[in-house]
Amino acid sequence: MRFSEKAREAARRSWALSHRHPFVQGIIDGTLPKEKFRFYILQDIFYLKDFAKVHALAATQTKDFRITAMLAEKAKFTAEAEIGVHKEHAELLGLTHEDIENVRPAPTTYAYTSHMLRAAMSGRLSESIAALLPCYWLYADIGYQNRDKKPAEPMYQNWLNTYASDWFQKSTQEMIDLFDALAEEATEKERASMLEHFVIMSEWELAFWEMAYTEEKWPSEVLAHYHDAAHEAVEEGSRDMTP
């Protein structure tokens, strides 16, 4: 069994839940409310910028120039292509350049990108690739499995087409092959770290769908609502008690 197959098996629960998540299913059948897709687009553009940075960091973590060149190319073209597609969607959704540049990451986006950058800052190529691979592979898998679906919403059809495309499938396979090659050269301890990053990042992918579907807010934004309501209730009670 290839190490990538072992990693995929270890992440099977989150992987299956991602495929069945209502956000993903809403894209596939065309019923996802556009405001949720809008929230996702903004968050994913923020994410993809750090995704590209991790490719660039990973490119410096090897003495093999072929790998350096491949990762540098992916930092520019793969992430850039995805951002380009998202910006097309953003325009259709009425999002402005200022909306995109000033987006505030949701808690899950912040935590996911922070973990991805932390893995890359370990200085080991194997950990960086393990952190990047679930995003590639899960999106490619969703795209390929649903390549014949025809959602009525053109934006959702374009999203599926992007990840089902030959170029994205090829790019994903290159990352899987690199992951396996690095695992063959790694120590048992390093393979354990690779597996851990792969599983955690697969969980973050699932969390990202949930974040977009619920239009996740920061705790202070959620709790402020309850605090304001409680404060108003106290003031109202105080007025009622005034003689």
Domains of the chain in sequence order: 3-217 (1.20.910.10)
What confidence score (pLDDT) does residue 236 get? 56
pLDDT tens-digit profile of 6-20? 999 999 999 999 999
Asked if the model's pLDDT at residue 234 lies above 50, the reply is: no
Please name the residue that has the structure tokens 């679906």.
149
Please check the confidence at residue 198 and state whether its pLDDT lies above 80: yes
Mean pLDDT, residues 209-214 taken together = 98
Evaluate if residue 85 carries a pLDDT over 80.
no
Query: With 50 as the cut, is the pLDDT of residue 105 above it?
Result: yes
Q: Where are the alpha helices (DSSP H) in 21-165?
A: 22-29, 34-59, 65-92, 97-101, 107-120, 125-145, 154-164
CB-based contact 65:129 (threshold 8 Å)? no
Query: What residues contact residue 17 under an 8 Å CB cut-off, 6+ apart?
Result: 206
* Residue of 126, 112, 113, 128 whose CA lies nearest to 57: 128
Which residues are known catalytic residues?
A: 135, 205
